[in-house]
Amino acid sequence: MKISLRDKFPNLQVETTKGTINLPDDYKGKWFVLFSHPADFTPVCTTEFVSFQKKKKQFNELGVELIGLSVDSLESHYRWIEWIKEKIHVEVDFPVIDDENRKVSETLGLIHPNEDDTATVRAVLIVDHNGKVRTILEYPKEIGRNMNEILRTVKALKQASIKKVFAPANWPCNEIIGDKVLFHREKEDDPALDDERGIYSLSDWFVYKNLDE
């Protein structure tokens, strides 16, 4: 199985460093970010786990939970988390999935078919409050993820879901419209009222406004 955007996240019961979790049911009404890493006790993955932990509060404030995954055992996860605590003085407190049998990774399509080893790819799945996959990001083993970009993506997706708007390139620092957002006019919208409603346009198809409007 290879999961795609807008797919329903498959029902999975997983064992984690925080106990048994039923995905996506245990996160009903919440968003979650599931991120896979190639292996425990590797340098790039270690820097990522520390970065995710340091950003965890910001994710939680957005109503988003974090879940790690690799084809390592719970014992390996526990030892690695303890190593991070002892050497880097950061306590990783989000759940990490035991996938030694590769069942979860294979179900989600996170084992690269063209790699010689069996490690999980470096991927990110952002799943919304309805259990639907909203973003899939995949990175090479050589490059660590940018947590600020993942946070930005979550913020933009949540605004898109709630307010039916679209985030421009580099939002909220777009080169054309700054921190404003794009949207489609409704049929009943009267362009004559744009000024008082804080709506701007460059054409009938390029319409934008302040996010709070």
Is 45 an active-site residue?
Answer: yes
Closest CA to 127 of 170, 168, 66, 69: 66
Sheet arrangement for strand 199-201: 181-182, 207-209, 199-201
Candidates 3, 21, 45, 111; catalytic one:
45
DSSP string, 61-111: HTTEEEEEEESS-HHHHHHHHHHHHHHH-----S-EEE-TT-HHHHHTT-B
Length of the chain: 213
- Tokens, residue 15: 């064992």
Contacts of 8 (CB under 8 A, 6+ apart): 131, 132, 133
Amino acid at 96: V
Quick one: which H or E segment has residue 187?
A: none
Active-site residues, by number, are 45
